[in-house]
Amino acid sequence: MKKILIINGPNLNLLGQREPGIYGSSSFETYLEKLRAAYPDVEIDYFQSNHEGDIIDRLHSVGFGGVDGVVLNAGAYTHTSVAIADAIRAIKTPVIEVHISNVHQREEFRHHSFLSPAAAGIIIGFGLESYRLAVDSFVKKL
Ligand code: DQA
């Protein structure tokens, strides 16, 4: 069975309550149930952390054979974290960077991603569907 890990970074535990005009009104857990139901042949694991080092530790632990692909929304760390970018480069497992909102329509500081040059691909601005598009890309590629 194919195995994909979704990692959500800081503040994404508050999806559904956090700025719903930008991020929607569904919690990630509710969305994840639907996503898992849509891909019954794929094991979709989920990890969320508000801590940069925990995200890096998890990338390391799945980066050498643990899973077939990682879907990563690093939240605001996208725009600040050289360390997460280095972790993506350090591991073997491909990482797709996703964002719920179209960061290019938002503040200038969200236009730059340290992660994009290290990522296998980038999916931005499709709401929660960004995650499904990333999962789908792994499913079709594997
Ligand atoms: C985000 C965009 C980031 O700029 C922001 O800090 C987030 C969420 C998105 O999914 O649209 O926390 O990654």
Closest approach atom of ligand 1 to CA 130: 10
Tell which one of 100, 104, 107, 132 to mutate to probe ligand 1, the residue whose CB is within 8 A of the most ligand atoms: 100
The whole-number average pLDDT for the span 120-137 is 98
The answer to whether 63 and 93 have CB atoms below 8 angstroms apart is yes
Distance CA 74, CA 106 (A): 17
Q: Is 75 in the pocket of ligand 1 (CB under 6 A)?
A: yes
pLDDT band at 66 (very low <50, low <70, confident <90, very high): confident
pLDDT of residue 142 exceeding 90, the answer is no
Q: What is the pLDDT of residues 10-48, one digit of tens each?
A: 999 999 999 999 998 999 999 999 999 999 999 999 999
51 is catalytic: no
* Mean pLDDT of all residues belonging to the chain: 96
The whole-number average pLDDT for the span 110-127 is 98
Distance from residue 49's CA to the centre of ligand 1 (Å): 14
Spatial neighbors of 40 by CB under 8 A, at least 6 apart, are none
